Amino acid sequence: MSDTSATKPRTAMVTITFTPSGETIEVPRGTSLLDAAILCELDVPAPCAGQGRCGRCRVRVTSGEVERRSNAGMSTAEILEGWAVACQTYAGAGAIEVEVPERRKEKVRPHGHAIAEPESLPIVCDYLQNPAVKLFELEIEPPSLDDQTSDFDRLRRALSQQHGIEEIRAELPQLKRLGPALRHANWNVTVALEMRDWVYETYLPPRLLRVYPTAFLQRSMGVAVDLGTTSVVAYLVDFVTGRVIDSASAYNGQIACGDDVISRIIYSKRKHGLERLQHLAVETINDLLEELQQRNDIEPREIHELAIAGNTTMTHLLLGLEPRSLREEPYIPTIASAPKLIANELGLNANPVARVHILPSVGAYVGGDITAGVISSGMYATEKLTLFIDIGTNGEMVLGNKDWLLSCACSAGPAFEGGGVRNGMRASQGAIEDVFIDDVTLEPVFRTIDDAPAVGICGSGLIDLLGELFLTGIVDKSGHIDRNAPTERVRVLDGVPEYVVCRAGEGGAEKDIALTESDVSSLLRAKAAIYAGFEVLCASVGVDLADVEQILIGGAFGQYLNVEKAIRIGLLPDQPVERFHFLGNTSALGAFATLLCISVRHNVADVASKMTYLELSADNTFMDEYTSALFLPHTDLTGFPSVRAALAARADGNGNGG
Amino acid sequence: MSDTSATKPRTAMVTITFTPSGETIEVPRGTSLLDAAILCELDVPAPCAGQGRCGRCRVRVTSGEVERRSNAGMSTAEILEGWAVACQTYAGAGAIEVEVPERRKEKVRPHGHAIAEPESLPIVCDYLQNPAVKLFELEIEPPSLDDQTSDFDRLRRALSQQHGIEEIRAELPQLKRLGPALRHANWNVTVALEMRDWVYETYLPPRLLRVYPTAFLQRSMGVAVDLGTTSVVAYLVDFVTGRVIDSASAYNGQIACGDDVISRIIYSKRKHGLERLQHLAVETINDLLEELQQRNDIEPREIHELAIAGNTTMTHLLLGLEPRSLREEPYIPTIASAPKLIANELGLNANPVARVHILPSVGAYVGGDITAGVISSGMYATEKLTLFIDIGTNGEMVLGNKDWLLSCACSAGPAFEGGGVRNGMRASQGAIEDVFIDDVTLEPVFRTIDDAPAVGICGSGLIDLLGELFLTGIVDKSGHIDRNAPTERVRVLDGVPEYVVCRAGEGGAEKDIALTESDVSSLLRAKAAIYAGFEVLCASVGVDLADVEQILIGGAFGQYLNVEKAIRIGLLPDQPVERFHFLGNTSALGAFATLLCISVRHNVADVASKMTYLELSADNTFMDEYTSALFLPHTDLTGFPSVRAALAARADGNGNGG
């Protein structure tokens, strides 16, 4: 069944020593330095997953022979000093010594990322009627020679007699503690039970989570997690009150293995790549759990359940499921609904038998975060024709109401997250997030996050800037920058025109920050993909965008979106502003509701199974719609009356003032 | 909630270095050398669990200061050389160096221990009607852009369409392999499913065990394990044919931590003691699994289920459940029925999701091995009044029929396993197993296991010898040895008379082998406890021993028992020989049937729940019955007509020949 390698020539082996850690590894000649570093579990970042695009996996070869296939973006001086792109540099013959520069650990929190104030999350079901976790006080008859019933059966009997609960289940980790716990508590205990769980249509008896002395403080907590590709947010929930007590957030540690889901899937193909990605996801969540535990003085075992919402790739990686087929046509996930899991199985730092609910997904690119959004937005229960959208690297959208739900995902690319745009950046300190350009002087006014010196432009800033450039005529409807615009802000570098929104020195900026014509082109492709998605979704069920009664905007990016400016560039449909509603972190909200309430769990399963997934790459009309949307705001201006009016007003204004 | 230790004086720490391994550990002064060795995971045997009784945990203190509380059985010369009993020797001040002698690893197999010939086990149910594990061939429609159903849902759909199985469950380990497995097999797969499982009254959907290419050899195996205190036996079963293919056996590795269940429970209280016991149980089973896998060329993942029968202490230790309350009045187990377990959870070397069935127990001293015996003996289904007995360190017995079952356990002590008897030993090479004493000369003739030079006397040899000594008048009915018996075989050492059954040199024996009056006393106590158990069991339901229609003898020891000789000493009731039936390793047989057949699993659960447990220590009549049975064969000879006849015949013979 396996190849015999007896006749194969043996590959020459090379020893690589990494400094300053001192790790040494023997690898076949031709192994990339990045792969060798990963095998040594060294922290070498690879945002492009080792495709040689980002140049961030820099290391310094201090001795030995290597083969460089690319030196992407490195100066000759650096190359002479031994600096190399680890993913593009391969072990030659003999011993090699490689210095791994120390990384400044990204301690910064994701900016303004949906860190809800305590108790700010609404309770979306009457969870007290149907709670997921419940506490029961018991006074148990101690055993005697006349009644030698086992500890567990004695507990069951007491639950039946004192609370009418006929059956319970228990797993090994809890049974291991049961005997000592009952005796330590002198048979007066409080038990936490997971109340109702089911497999398909079959209900299971309640499940034992914990046994502790009634005399002690009784706490029963849960954690709802939004496992984003970029940021991860965790909410600590008290099962007794149903309230959010605290929250914490951090960047997803997997960023070191790729900025977006595609890069991470590529990374997973490396040796131990999938294990590392899974480990980083678990570690990121564990860091948040620890922070919440410390700040609120609770023990891991007091966390009785978790609910986690993430896109399909994130949940596959968290569970260690092979993600390869998500990326290859025809884009198939291993699972839509995750199996029953407990914290122990995943290595999460909670009660070892805490149930971990993973929100179910619909397809490879419509994940549990979107199911969570449909739930928390309430669109699954409304009569109104609703469009739910979550814009990020992918634009995911769902159209429908309580009777039907149709979803799709369009690959917008990373432009709205600052990727593929020269001065683009994530929404963190120093990002330009708000821009206004004077009609007459064509001079910009902008605001940065935390009012820090400008470092780059984040997604909302890019939308603002593009809209302003369009309205002021600096950029035309095809996305070309007017090289003759009457302002020194427009200049041409290497044949590519750009608009400098911030010059080095302005407000303390260290460098010029500009939007180039290529950047505009990236933004146009991104917004066109999303807008085409809306059109195809509506067309496939025979409705018009104008028929949509409400447009619900969820997701991290959505919170900072200015609807009018997004309409101006043709990213959002030109509908009355009152139809748009911002819902905040719908993924986290959905996880929160799932955590708390059994009826929501039913709804989640129901929604995920009834939602239809429209594969755009199999849809002929998508390409046509996309091409039509590659203009500002769109080829067909009749769909954008408010933009047409604004352009007309400007033309008038110019006419009047010129 | 936890003590603050700020005000406590700090205990002085001592460094102990073990040679030749070089392990070093820092422990508080006063720690026993045994505890320190266990913390270093060194292999120091402790058959008496560190109670200072056996002296087998010998080590040599080569430097440093220790406090000896006992030097049990050690000569002055040895003490001067530094030899010490590790469990009774405590770290003093300063650094200590301790030599751990290398142990000869016990490679010997348990003698003649129920290693069934392939296919010798009967099939006790129509398992083909209701198999526990079943294979299904599937041709799955490959995914496409028009049908992006997830891998798992696609598999479910095919099972439903092609085999009418509407629902299946799967755990994470199998899902991790699912995507690659389906593609590797080009969508033509065979799946192994665990067919019917239930929690209390609730049936669960079939569970996915494995997916593999239909083109490959399809095998589905199970292993039935008899987890004995002394020996462990494993049977490899083919689920397709229902046949036993092979078997393997070994001593339970826990023997190093105590010979009997009580010693092991004591051992479990040591730091990491319970973890070590659990590890040794798992390791013992894994060694057998590996042996079976190698010999039959199968992979761990081809083992799809396991069934394990053992006494209550053995199953608690295997699962890592705190066993302390099993030993302390009122003798309470943590569980009677084990939870649903998979191989992964226990670290067993089989398919990671292979179900591990632990046969349920009835009480602290009536375990899953007895439930297995009741099942495999068929007594749970018969009309006949039946007595089932399993004699070992404890005598476990069950009285009843298809309508009712009453069980009890009597602590016989280790005499029948060779413990507490000076020249007693387990049934292994060189053990005297069969003895005849000439009426006239009073000279013995004996046979040893494997005809090796005599080393000691095993249980069946002890019963034989005692019976012969009684019939020849050397031992009287009270158990006294006649110091004036006309033979040089009787001698008095240190005031205690003994009968030398083998002198040093006879047949190559290295030392005298004798039975002392104290040994006789131990044997009398052992047999009296068991016989009293029979009496109390019968009396408590108002029947007489003579009413019992069949007496079924199970367990390891039972296989080598000679009924007539056992009756002669009053161990077994004096009933017609045809009422006795030897069933072999009923524990293994029960595990085998449970492994194979779903209907048996129901019977097992049913039997365990309906069997009543009679606690003898709470029964007033037990002590009376025990005292009456402390004679050869019994105070009341009317219950032993055949023995009375034999005694009379001998008296006549003596009268005639004298």
Q: Given 3-state DSSP classes, what are the helix, strand and coil percentages for chain A, each rounded to the nearest 5?
A: 35, 25, 40
**pLDDT higher than 80, residue A188:** yes
How far does the CA of residue A149 sit from the closest CA of chain B (Å)? 7
The pLDDT value recorded for residue B126 is: 62
Tokens of B627: 């005292």
How far does the CA of residue A166 sit from the closest CA of chain B (Å)? 10
Q: Which residues of B601-619 are buried (b: 16+ CB within 10 A; e: fewer)?
A: bebbbebbeebbbbbbeeb
Q: B568 near B634, Cβ under 8 Å? A: no
The pLDDT value recorded for residue A499 is: 97
**Where does residue B510 rank: exposed (0-12), middle (13-18), buried (19+ CB within 10 A)?**
exposed
How far does the CA of residue B74 sit from the closest CA of chain A (Å)? 39
pLDDT in tens, B321-351: 999 999 999 999 999 999 999 999 999 999 9
Chain A residues closer than 8 Å to B178 by CB: 334-335
Q: What is the DSSP string of A14-54?
A: EEEEEETT--EEEEETT-BHHHHHHHTT-----TTSSSSSS
Q: How many residue pairs bridge chain A and chain B with CB atoms within 8 Å of each other? A: 154
pLDDT in tens, A66-91: 998 888 777 788 888 899 989 899 99
Q: ipTM of this model?
A: 0.84
The pLDDT value recorded for residue B160 is: 96
- Contact criterion met (CB < 8 Å) for A330 and B145: yes
How far does the CA of residue A615 sit from the closest CA of chain B (Å)? 7
Chain A residues closer than 8 Å to B170 by CB: 339
How far does the CA of residue A446 sit from the closest CA of chain B (Å)? 45
Of A153, A333, A345, the CB nearest to B336: A153
The pLDDT value recorded for residue B9 is: 53
The pLDDT value recorded for residue B110 is: 52
- Contact criterion met (CB < 8 Å) for A175 and B144: no
The pLDDT value recorded for residue A204 is: 85
CA-nearest of B365, B43, B496 to A150 is B365
For chain B, percent of residues with pLDDT exceeding 90: 64
Q: In angstroms, what is the C-alpha Rg of chain A?
A: 28
What average pLDDT score do residues A399-412 get? Answer: 94
- Contact criterion met (CB < 8 Å) for B145 and A180: no
Chain A residues closer than 8 Å to B341 by CB: 172
- Contact criterion met (CB < 8 Å) for B345 and A169: no
What average pLDDT score do residues A495-516 get? Answer: 95
Q: A443 near A469, Cβ under 8 Å? A: no
B24-28/B13-19 β-pairing: antiparallel
**pLDDT higher than 50, residue B79:** yes
- Contact criterion met (CB < 8 Å) for A151 and B325: yes
Q: What are phi and psi of A480, to 5 degrees?
A: -90, 140
What average pLDDT score do residues A467-477 get? Answer: 95
No. of helices (H) and no. of strands (E), chain B: 18, 29
Interface test with B, best of A141, A171, A201, A202 (most B CBs within 10 A): A202
**pLDDT higher than 60, residue A35:** yes
Tokens of A315: 């949940």
Only one residue has tokens 């705190």, namely: B322
Of B205, B325, B339, the CB nearest to A179: B325
The pLDDT value recorded for residue A120 is: 44
**pLDDT higher than 50, residue B111:** no
pLDDT in tens, B281-327: 999 999 999 999 999 999 999 999 999 999 999 999 999 999 999 99
Q: What is the DSSP string of A146-176?
A: TB---HHHHHHHHHHHHH-----B--HHHHH
On average, the pLDDT of chain A sits at 88
- Contact criterion met (CB < 8 Å) for B171 and A1: no
**pLDDT higher than 70, residue B226:** yes
Least confident of A130-139, A298-307, A634-643: A130-139
Interface test with A, best of B141, B322, B622 (most A CBs within 10 A): B322
What average pLDDT score do residues A256-277 get? Answer: 92
Only one residue has tokens 């770290």, namely: B91
On average, the pLDDT of chain B sits at 88
**pLDDT higher than 80, residue B424:** yes
- Contact criterion met (CB < 8 Å) for A202 and B205: yes
User: Cα A433–A435–A437 angle (5° rounding)?
Assistant: 170
What average pLDDT score do residues B65-84 get? Answer: 85
Q: Is B214 helix (H, G, I), strand (E, B) or coil?
A: coil
User: Cα B299–B274–B336 angle (5° rounding)?
Assistant: 80
- Contact criterion met (CB < 8 Å) for B179 and A322: yes
Chain B residues closer than 8 Å to A336 by CB: 150, 152-153
CA-nearest of B282, B307, B303, B141 to B221 is B303
The enclosing H or E element of A399 equals: strand A394-400
- Contact criterion met (CB < 8 Å) for A320 and B176: yes
Q: What are phi and psi of A432, to 5 degrees?
A: -70, 120
Interface test with A, best of B175, B177, B184 (most A CBs within 10 A): B175
How far does the CA of residue A154 sit from the closest CA of chain B (Å)? 9
Confidence of residue A223 (pLDDT cuts 50, 70, 90): very high
Least confident of A14-23, A137-146, B96-105, B180-189: B96-105
What average pLDDT score do residues B445-461 get? Answer: 93
What average pLDDT score do residues A461-478 get? Answer: 95
Least confident of A36-40, A270-274, A362-366, B572-576: A36-40
Instruction: Give the span between the Cα atoms of B256 and A563, in whole angstroms.
Output: 74
Q: B76 near B288, Cβ under 8 Å? A: no
The better pLDDT of the pair B138, B260 is held by B138
- Contact criterion met (CB < 8 Å) for B615 and A148: yes
- Contact criterion met (CB < 8 Å) for B216 and A1: yes
- Contact criterion met (CB < 8 Å) for B202 and A200: no
User: Cα B534–B539–B541 angle (5° rounding)?
Assistant: 110
Chain B residues closer than 8 Å to A341 by CB: 172
Distances (CA, A) of A600 to A111, A125, A224: 30, 7, 14
Residue of B nearest to A618 (CA): B145
Of A149, A339, A617, the CB nearest to B175: A339
The pLDDT value recorded for residue A401 is: 95
How far does the CA of residue A216 sit from the closest CA of chain B (Å)? 9
Chain B residues closer than 8 Å to A364 by CB: 148
No. of helices (H) and no. of strands (E), chain A: 18, 29
CA within 13 Å, CB half, A456: 18
The better pLDDT of the pair B111, A521 is held by A521
- Contact criterion met (CB < 8 Å) for A333 and B180: no
The pLDDT value recorded for residue A110 is: 52
Q: What is the DSSP string of A293-327?
A: HHHHT--GGGEEEEEEEE-HHHHHHHHT---HHHH
- Contact criterion met (CB < 8 Å) for A335 and B169: no
The pLDDT value recorded for residue B394 is: 82
Dihedral angle over CA of B343, B349, B354, B358, nearest 10: -50
How far does the CA of residue A33 sit from the closest CA of chain B (Å)? 28
How far does the CA of residue A334 sit from the closest CA of chain B (Å)? 5
- Contact criterion met (CB < 8 Å) for A319 and B1: no
Instruction: Give the span between the Cα atoms of B33 and B19, in whole angstroms.
Output: 13
Chain B residues closer than 8 Å to A201 by CB: 167
pLDDT in tens, A96-126: 999 998 864 444 445 443 434 433 445 456 6
Residue of B nearest to A153 (CA): B335
Residue of B nearest to A206 (CA): B199
The better pLDDT of the pair A201, B270 is held by B270
CA-nearest of B309, B366, B365, B374 to B338 is B309
Confidence of residue B121 (pLDDT cuts 50, 70, 90): very low
How many residues are present in chain A? 658
- Contact criterion met (CB < 8 Å) for A151 and B332: yes
pLDDT in tens, B508-554: 999 999 999 999 999 999 999 999 999 999 999 999 999 999 999 98
- Contact criterion met (CB < 8 Å) for A151 and B333: yes
Cis peptide before A497 (omega within 30 of 0): no
- Contact criterion met (CB < 8 Å) for B1 and A216: yes
Q: B379 near B401, Cβ under 8 Å? A: yes
The pLDDT value recorded for residue B35 is: 87
Q: Is B190 helix (H, G, I), strand (E, B) or coil?
A: strand
